[in-house]
Structure 1
Amino acid sequence: MKKIMLLLAALAVTGAAQAADSDDPAQGYIANLCTLVTQDKAADSADGYITKLKALHMRGQSPSAQEKPDFDEDEARTVVAAWMNLSEDQKKQASQNMEACQSATLDEYQSQD
């Protein structure tokens, strides 16, 4: 079980890093949020998600990295708000599948603009 969790975390960090390379921090926050959701580490509140996203963001940074991107709390809150705006059915489906989670959250995030 621990190996699976570590593998999922590594995949999330890799996905977040690739998303961050696209110059859109929201993509990384969505990837990390969906990692939390699909691992049953869902929080009850927006603040709970923000706390978990911050922790995941910090763990994903290499101590030797020359450029360490800051955690953009405003952007993370916008992503969390998009997740929270999803219907219960959408959340249930999204919690079962990483791609479905990212797609639904991104769609809602983009509709907030």
Structure 2
Amino acid sequence: MKKVLMLLAAVAMAGSAQADEGTDDGSQSYITNLCTIVTQEKSPATAEAYINQLKDLDARGHSSSSMNTSQFDEDEARTVVAAWMNLNDVQKKEARQSEQACHDATLNEYQSQD
């Protein structure tokens, strides 16, 4: 019985920690999706094109029969795209080398906008 209670307490603590970290969960998914887009693109796009591509990725990520579909947060997506667009050319070139480099650079710029 003690093991079960300890396990439940550990799961509850992990869930609480994730909830604390997840305050920017929407922005994290938009950054991840944006980085997927920019690391695969052949030529740079406009901010509007990035927004449209993020909308498309978001729509594809949800089943039409899903009960728990989240709404696309265009304001948050625009903030993430603005963070990417604010990077200088050298930063963008480096960020296009890998999704992790893109994520780090975009997240740093996103956080500096707050």
Q: Place the TM-score, normalised by the shorter chain, in its bin.
A: 0.7 to 0.9
Deviation at 1:94, TM superposition (A): 0.7
Counterpart of 2:113? 112
Over the aligned positions, Cα root-mean-square deviation in angstroms equals 1.6
Gapped runs of 5+ residues in structure 2? Answer: 1-20
Alignment deviations for residues 84-108 of structure 1 (CA, whole Å, 9 cap, x no partner): 0001011011111000000000000
Alignment deviations for residues 18-73 of structure 1 (CA, whole Å, 9 cap, x no partner): xxx93420000000000001111655211110000000110111233211000000
- Change beyond 3 A, Cα 1:22–1:65: farther
Structure 1 Cα separation of the partners of residues 64 and 56 of structure 2 = 14
Counterpart of 1:97? 98
- Structure number with bigger Rg: 2
- What TM-score does the superposition give when structure 1 sets the normalisation length? 0.76
Structure 2 Cα separation of the partners of residues 42 and 25 of structure 1 = 26
Counterpart of 1:27? 28
Which aligned pairs between 1:1-113 and structure 2 lie closer than 5 A? 22-23=22-23, 24-40=25-41, 43-113=44-114
Structure 1 Cα separation of the partners of residues 50 and 43 of structure 2 = 7
Equivalent pairs counted in the alignment come to 93
Counterpart of 2:3? none
Structure 2 Cα separation of the partners of residues 41 and 82 of structure 1 = 20
Q: Which amino acid aligns with 2:60?
A: R
Structure 2 Cα separation of the partners of residues 81 and 62 of structure 1 = 28
Counterpart of 2:7? none
Kept after mapping to 2: 8 A contact 1:42/1:49:
no
Q: Which amino acid aligns with 1:22?
A: G
What SS does the aligned partner of 1:32 have? helix
Gapped runs of 5+ residues in structure 1? Answer: 1-20
Instruction: List, as ranges, runs of 4+ consecutive aligned residues in structure 1 with deviation greater than 6 Å.
Output: none
